[in-house]
Each structure stands twice: as structure tokens, then as C-alpha cells.
Amino acid sequence: MARKKKLLPTLENITITGVAAEGKAIAKNDNLVIFVPFAAPGDVVDIKLTRKKNSYAEGKIAKVHTYAEQRATPFCEHFGVCGGCKWQHLPYEEQLKYKQQQVADALSRIGKVEPEHFYPILGAEKTQFYRNKLEYTFSNKRWLTWEQVESNESYDNMNALGFHIPGMFDKVLDINKCWLQTTLSNEIRLSIKNYCFEHEGYPFFDLRNQEGFMRTLMIRTTSTGDLMVVVIFFYEDVEKREALLNYVAEQFPQITSLLYVINEKKNDTITDQDVLVFKGKDHICEKMEGLTFKIGPKSFYQTNSDQAYNLYKIVRDFAQLTGEESVYDLYTGTGTIANFIAKKAKKVIGIEYVPEAIEDAKVNSAINHITNTEFYAGDMKDLLTADFIQAHGMPDVIITDPPRAGMHQDVVDLLLATEPKRIVYVSCNPATQARDLNLLDAKYIVEDVRPVDMFPHTHHVENVASLRLKENPQS
């Protein structure tokens, strides 16, 4: 006999007191910590509990009695349903304050380190339309909001082109206007969707049953005016595909790179797929401080170009290069940081797991006539060894920009054994960065820290820390 699910209570007149690391708000009730999305510190609300453990609970707002003074009006019609931009209800200055605090808490509680200089977070001048890349999903399982469900309207067309609903792998929210990328990006998405609605033979993808023609859409932009559109189909239908792509090319002559993919796999990734050119170039170009960076459909490039430039300048300043240093750039990606700092270094060696990214890095060095860089592909913990360092020279400075999981223990151990004079650690996850800084504490002093806001209206924060070798490091 199945156990009955325990009904959880609704807590009344609860004051929201803070913001948690993952972006949810925090409240307390009888020593129980409660995490609540879309609330702001100072709100007085009723909370319907959705999950309860011994030390914490999760819930959602059932009723608002009083809104906090420090609140902003969300500007997007999809706020509260879409999985992105969850902090639109917080004024931007408040967002920056909580992000700064998030980094400070991680450093003190997890890292047990106190930097000599903790600089204020660098906020973004542009807090809307700041992304240079977005990916949308075609789906025949449109997500309906409660308002739409309760309206009793008939929804014959359940197709959607937009973003996946958090926690619902096969449900997609149809997006009317996204405030993350340019108006032109919105126009392209809506035009493609309407074309598919108005012409037969363009069924949207059914993820569960693995059927349908239209699969995903990627749009990339640059400050140079280049524009890439990649349409991903589930199977080849030359007549239908060419008709759609010709329409897109005619409607949007601004597109400099119109590409397509036939992806018959069960997942949406295209890293192992052939990307074919329909019209224009197979890449776009971004410029930064006189450098040109070639970006292909599979290339990684920071999605906020303006803040990426600011981030790289902080990295370069923290590295304190004089032109005589040998620099290792770990997790180099497409070599953006390596090429950006190359003119200030004697030699830069970039290491990255993805071979295609390393090829991009080499191309970016070549097109910028940079001759003092070398790039190698391989798993960091396997490639970066004592033998590798012996073959390529001891690094004076190491720049590391690992994924969210942080650095592998073997990589940390090698840094400690190698003892470069300076380490600059870039992180998109202050918690794992703080963990690694704690491990490096045996030989390094955390000198400078500066957070950078790459993603306004989200809880995500980038952080840059510089470390210098202690005068008498422990053995």
C-alpha cells in the first residue's frame, strides 16, 4: 500500500530576511531556514512549504502582505515562469550587493581566507540585451501558465519556440520577447516561428517521442555587426529546409553567417555534428582592444562581450606582467585570455580539454600575428604534469579559469609543487574557488579579489583572485 504524501503547511506572515547563494530568498521560522524564489528581503509573505527537511525547507509565495521597499518592477512578461533573470524584482544595486556578499561569504566560510584587498564588484553598464549568444528550443509541448490554464481558452497550437521550463525537460515556454539579446534576435526568432506556423511540413520537435523537424535555434551576435544564425533540424528534407533558410536570408540580410545542422541524435548538443554553411561565412568575428577573435558555431566565447573585456583587463592587471614572464593559461578555452595578455608576457602556454577549442586558439593567435603562444589539448590533470613543465619551462605566472566544479586535486597539487610566483584564479563559482584557495593557502597569500557581474538579473557572479607565493612557503 502506497504511503500518503504528507501535506505541508502554509506559514503565515513570514518576513524575508536575506538572499541565498543560489538566488533564492531566505526566511526563518522557529529555527527552520526556508528558501523561497522570487521574494525580496523585507517582503512579508505567506509561504506554502513544498519540501521539508530537518534543518531547512523550501516553499513558494502563497500571499504577499507587504512588499519590501527595496523592490523593482520586473520588466519581462515571462518573469517568474522562465528560468532566467530571476532577480528582476531586485534593484540592480541590491543585486550587486548580494553578489559581493556571496563572494565574501564563500571566501570566509569555505576558504577560511582573508584577502589583503577586496575590491567592490564591477557592475555592468548594460543590464539588458547584454548576451551575444542565445539558444532556443522548438517543442510541441508548450508550457501554459496558470493564468492561461484558468482562462479556459482553447489552445489548439501547442507549439513553442523558447526556453525549457526548469525541472521540466520536455516543456518549453514560448517566448514573445527576451530582454537578453538584441531586438533583431527577437525578430529573427519570431519570424522563423511564424513561417513554420504558416507553412505545412514544419512540425516542432517532440522530445519524448523523438519526432518532428524543427529542433533548436542558435543566434550569436558581435559588436562588429557580425550575426550568426544556426538552425538545427532533426532530419534532412532538402525542399523544406532550403525554403525556410532562403526565407530567413531574404528577410534578414544582416545575417553574415547562416548555418544549419541535421542532428538525428537523442540529445541537442551539436559539438559532434557537422555544421553546414547555407549562406555567408562559417564564423563571425569579435574585436577586443585591437585583437580579432574568430568565433565558430561550436566556439566558446564569454556571452557578455562588454564585461568579458573588463574581466580580462582585471586578469591582466592582477597578473602584474612585465614582458619577461612565462605564463601558463589553464582551461584556456579558445585562448581568449592567453592571446589578450600575450603582448605583456614572454611566452604563454594554453591548455584546454576540447581539441576544437585549441584549434580556435591557434587560429586566433595566427590572425592577430601573435607568435609567443603555444596551445595543447588534453585533460588538465593528465596533461599538466611535472614532465610537461620540464619540457615547456617553469611558469612564473599561472592563470586558471576552471569550470564550475573547480580544479582537480591533482592540478592543485601540481601548482603547489611548481610554486609559480603568482596565480590568478578566475571562477564562475565562488564556492569551489574558495575551496581551492583554501588548499593553496599552504604556500600562497590571497592578495587581491574582485568580483565581476557578467549576468545581471541572475544570482551568478564571476570572481577574480590573485595569489602570490609566500616568502617561506611550507614544504
- The mean per-residue pLDDT over the stretch 122-150 comes to 90
pLDDT of residue 150: 65
Q: What is the DSSP letter of 437?
A: H
Q: How far is CA 289 from CA 174, 295, 305, 349, 390, in A?
A: 38, 16, 12, 21, 33
pLDDT at residue 158 is higher than 70? yes
For residue 475, pLDDT over 70 is answered with no
Compute the CA torsion angle 259, 260, 266, 272 (nearest 10 deg): -50
What is the pLDDT averaged over residues 92-121? 96
- Annotated catalytic sites, by residue? 428
Task: Please report which confidence band the pLDDT of residue 305 belongs to, taking 50, 70 and 90 as the band edges.
Answer: very high
Phi first, then psi: give them for residue 430, nearest 5 degrees.
-55, -25
CATH number of 133-284: 2.40.50.1070
pLDDT of residue 396: 98
Per-domain residue ranges for the chain?
10-71, 93-127+304-469, 133-284
Q: Which of 300, 76, 89 is nearest to 181 (CA)?
A: 76
Using CA atoms, how far apart are residues 313 and 404, in angstroms rounded to an integer?
21
Distance in angstroms (rounded) separating the CA atoms of residues 88 and 73: 7
Residues 214, 189, 240: CA angle, nearest 5 degrees: 35
Pick the residue with more confidence: 322 or 149?
322
Domain 93-127+304-469 superfamily per CATH: Vaccinia Virus protein VP39 (3.40.50.150)
CA distance 245 to 279: 9
149 vs 273: which has the higher pLDDT: 273
Q: What is the pLDDT of residue 144?
A: 83
Q: Which of 186, 191, 217 is nearest to 204 (CA)?
A: 217
> What pLDDT score does 70 carry?
87
Specify whether the CB–CB gap between 88 and 76 falls below 8 A: yes
Instruction: Work out the end-to-end distance of the chain between its first and last CA atoms, rounded to an integer number of angstroms.
Output: 61
Report pLDDT digits (tens) over 3-58.
Answer: 556 688 899 999 999 998 778 899 998 889 999 999 999 999 999 999 998 889 99
Task: Indicate the range of 73-77, 152-156, 157-161 predicted with least confidence.
Answer: 152-156
Residue 1 has pLDDT above 60, yes or no: no
Provide the H-helix boundaries in 152-210.
Answer: 183-198
Residue 374, C-beta contacts closer than 8 angstroms, at least 6 positions apart: 347, 348, 349, 350, 392
- Give the tens place of pLDDT for each residue, 418-450: 999 999 999 999 999 999 999 999 999 999 999
Residue-level pLDDT at 23 = 83
- How many degrees, rounded to 5, is the angle at CA 437 between CA 434 and CA 441? 140
Span 176-209, pLDDT tens digits: 999 999 999 999 999 999 999 999 999 999 999 9
Least confident residue range of 142-156, 157-171, 232-246, 364-378: 142-156
The pLDDT tens digits of the residues spanning 319-378 come to: 999 999 999 999 999 999 999 999 999 999 999 998 888 999 999 999 999 999 999 999
The burial class, CB within 10 Å (0-12 / 13-18 / 19+), for 250 is exposed
User: What's the average model confidence in pLDDT over 248-266?
Assistant: 97
The hierarchical CATH code for the domain 10-71 is 2.40.50.140
* E strand residue ranges, 140-200: 160-165, 168-174
C-alpha cell at 222: 558581435
Instruction: Tell me if domain 10-71 and domain 133-284 are identical in fold.
Output: yes
Give the gyration radius of the chain's Cα atoms: 25
